[in-house]
Structure 1
Amino acid sequence: MIDVPVGVGGPYLPLHVGEPVPESADMTPAMMVCRGQEALFTMRRDWSPVLARLRSRPPGELPLTGVTAAMVEDFAELRRDQPASGFRKNIRTLTILGYWLGVENALHERDVYDLARLDTHLAAKPVCQFLRARGLLVDDPRLHRDRDLVWIETALHALPQPVAEEVRAWSDVLRSQGPRESEPRSWEGIRRYLTNLEPALIAWTQAGMTTLREVTLDHLQEALDDLAGTARRQLAVALRSLFRALKQKKVVFRDPTRHLAVGDLTGIPRPVPSDQLAGLLDQAETPFARLTIALAAVHAVTGAEIRTALTTDLNLACGTLELRRGLLRHALYLEELTHRLFTDWLAYRHQRWPASTNPHLLVTQKTALDPDHPAVHRGTLGQVLPKGPTLDRLRQDRILDEAFATSDPLKLMRLFGITEQTAMRYVGTAHPERTAKLPR
């Protein structure tokens, strides 16, 4: 039964709940109106009128219940280490939510994101993490889907159904759901492949192609003729991956990319000029930057391995760092310089973020206190270097320098944990006279 006031015109009067009610009728929060009445409709809440009325009032002027005020204070205490701008965004968001909906009942995650989307001075993710830790958040599964997977499904939806199903079969193979067991690829890697394939797939379907079984070598050459350099290599590699997977699942009868020329995928490693290497550590201003440069330039560690290294993988007593490479492990032996840089970084991290529980070895202001424990973003690593060399160039220069000093590929494999093909490529570059094929 729905019990509403009878014979009273205008808006419904608020029920007495023992808390102060704002004087202005326009400012009456939803929690004060018919409190205790469960939601009648599950329609999406429109925060625009609410935010328009509250925009002119500072968060400190909103009357909050005792429970809500205490929760906002707890949240503020946890986020003290944040920059001032991020701190204000989070506090304002939780204050508006607590004022309008209250915190006695769980809040919907969709409401938090819908509110934050309307104003750049509001934030959603930290507030949701705080509410979830206290059991006051109703999660929305649609908000927790992998964004790369969402992009892939959107791209497949734009293709005709038969072609989309064939491309989906290819992604299943890359995710280790095919007839052969293999290490699953990430959705991020599949998205990069599909980004290169999408223009060719759209062009073929617009020309009347209804299935990828109709693709011939002429179609492939036509798609590659307009490209050059890295773009051509990336598309050729993606095409080979697509049709090899379809051949495994017996979706196509033959692989048209079998004789497709891909070209050199990596190119010849080239050294970094000495004037760019000189003073790199001196130019780094933070322990984070100095450690990142040392790992790439001294130990030839890739950017992905630097980002994903865990604190438990470091053993300062033994002077080792264990790098995870799929199912394999590579032990990195630290010399005096890198050992000292690791010590400086751990001391700085403990002093800067003593409450951080992020298991990753490298953290930033954004990731140190994030309950989701994300790894450092790729762009953050790139910003530690001055203009000129990249982390990949520093890594290649280190391996190439070792190859110049020794022509033994086994030493390169043991020292840097690289494959025999990679080791032979660096040895061939450093000592072309010892190979059967001289570079042009």
Structure 2
Amino acid sequence: MEEFGRYRRESRPDYTKNARTLTYLVYWLGAETAFFESDVYDLAELDANLAAAPVCKFLRDRGLLVEDPDLHEDADLVWIETTLAALPELVASEVATWVAVLHGQGRRESEPRGYDGIRRYLSTLQPILTAWTTDGVTTLREITAADAKTALDGLAGHARRGLAIALRSLFRALKRERVIFSDPTRDLPVGDLKSVPRSVPSDLLAGLLDETKSPLGRLVIALVAIHALRGHEISALHTADLDLARGTLEVRRGLLRHTLYLEELTHQLAADWLTHRQQRWPGSLNPHLLVSQKSAVDPDHPPVSANLLRKAIPRGLTMEGLRQDRILNEAAESADPLKLMRLFGITEQTALRYVTTAHPECTAKLPR
């Protein structure tokens, strides 16, 4: 317990829940035996004043923990496997092939997607897959172009677009893996829902950083409002991606990397956050740049949640709104799509869309 007290002071100023948990374990089981990870978590579930993750990390570092693989399973992967188990065997095998392709395990090398994104795709497909199997479909080879189009009947807007994209992804992957002979979604119209980017009112932007006091929140605002990063890109940042000496930050975008050159404000906010993190969680081994109270000591080293990032943005604003406003402002200043592509790492089509919105007089069709 004295050793854990020193560890606790190094990793976090106050963690009485964990001290209480370790006290119970040592009292009942002794201090010279290995502890089962499942027992630690079962004990923590008995009382809200007990906690498990930091205690398990402390025991693991000292070779006193017998780990339980079931406690480290990916929740999204478990959901995917459960969903596949509810489908007929052959259909489940075909959908599992598609999941493997999305995860970068297909015949051809491709950018791997995370199980969280695959889960969103599969949740979109789940109702139509269930409907098809209920109607007697035993293999996706039986699906025709008419069936695919019928699946979109009655849908509109983002719901229709989302299902169309998921269907095309599914059958395109099966065709590439030679599971099916022809792709019934090859001519399936997806639609174009690209909306016009909107700017954020200036009164909401005024004093944006002053409204946020936490070092994490101020850094998140800078990365969104100045460098136009998306939420999932921010949560995926690693500490090793930040180079304060060179003033750069590497952004992970699948197999690609986009380099941000930090101006003085963001550089200072990043340095403030690293100082705060070191003082608050000096013993944290989480490789992610941003950590929370839970993720800093979680042995699985997860990224921060999307909800935590959203809470960092002042009320009345959204991360996507701030990002669009930043790109739109740059488009209004330069009217150069190539500059937008280099600065924000966006595609040619996206850059042209922002320039068209900012300068409609330059891109409008002239009267005949």
The match for 1:114 is: 42
1:410 matched to 2:338? The reply is yes
CA distance 1:232–1:412, change in 2 (3 Å): same
CA distance 1:178–1:295, change in 2 (3 Å): same
CA distance 1:357–1:437, change in 2 (3 Å): farther
Q: CA deviation at 1:138?
A: 1.4
The match for 2:218 is: 290
Q: CA deviation at 1:357?
A: 4.1
Counterpart code for 1:318: R
Task: Indicate conservation of the 8 Å contact 1:103/1:136, yes or no.
Answer: no
Of the three residues 242, 255, 270, the one matched with 2:170 is 242
Counterpart code for 1:77: R
1:144 matched to 2:72? The reply is yes
Counterpart code for 1:420: E
Separation in structure 1 between the aligned mates of residue 365 and residue 90 of structure 2, nearest angstrom: 46
CA distance 1:353–1:432, change in 2 (3 Å): same
The match for 1:303 is: 231
Separation in structure 1 between the aligned mates of residue 97 and residue 222 of structure 2, nearest angstrom: 42
Of the three residues 291, 298, 302, the one matched with 1:374 is 302
Question: Structure 1 stretches of 5 or more lacking a match?
Answer: 1-71
Secondary structure of residue in 2 paired with 1:324: strand
Mapping of 1:165-180 within 5 angstroms? 165-180=93-108
Counterpart code for 2:208: L
1:191 matched to 2:122? The reply is no
1:427 matched to 2:355? The reply is yes
The match for 2:277 is: 349
Separation in structure 2 between the aligned mates of residue 254 and residue 95 of structure 1, nearest angstrom: 63
1:78 matched to 2:7? The reply is yes
Q: CA deviation at 1:110?
A: 2.2
Q: CA deviation at 1:365?
A: 2.4
Separation in structure 2 between the aligned mates of residue 94 and residue 177 of structure 1, nearest angstrom: 42
Task: Indicate conservation of the 8 Å contact 2:157/2:193, yes or no.
Answer: no
Task: Indicate conservation of the 8 Å contact 1:240/1:257, yes or no.
Answer: yes
Counterpart code for 2:8: R
Secondary structure of residue in 1 paired with 2:346: coil
Q: CA deviation at 1:325?
A: 2.7
Separation in structure 2 between the aligned mates of residue 121 and residue 150 of structure 1, nearest angstrom: 29
Counterpart code for 1:250: R
Across the aligned residues of Structure 1 and Structure 2, the Cα RMSD in angstroms comes to 2.3
Q: CA deviation at 1:146?
A: 1.6
Counterpart code for 1:344: D
Question: Structure 2 stretches of 5 or more lacking a match?
Answer: none
Of the three residues 75, 97, 100, the one matched with 2:28 is 100
CA distance 1:186–1:265, change in 2 (3 Å): farther
Task: Indicate conservation of the 8 Å contact 1:82/1:365, yes or no.
Answer: no
Separation in structure 2 between the aligned mates of residue 256 and residue 361 of structure 1, nearest angstrom: 44
Higher relative CO (CA 8 A, sep ≥ 6), structure 1 or 2?
2
Separation in structure 2 between the aligned mates of residue 218 and residue 386 of structure 1, nearest angstrom: 47
Q: Deviations over 1:139-180 (max 9, x none)?
A: 222222222111111111111111111101111111222222
Task: Indicate conservation of the 8 Å contact 2:111/2:255, yes or no.
Answer: no
Separation in structure 1 between the aligned mates of residue 18 and residue 278 of structure 2, nearest angstrom: 24
The match for 1:268 is: 196
Identity rate, percent: 65
Separation in structure 2 between the aligned mates of residue 413 and residue 307 of structure 1, nearest angstrom: 22
Structure 1 length-normalised TM:
0.77
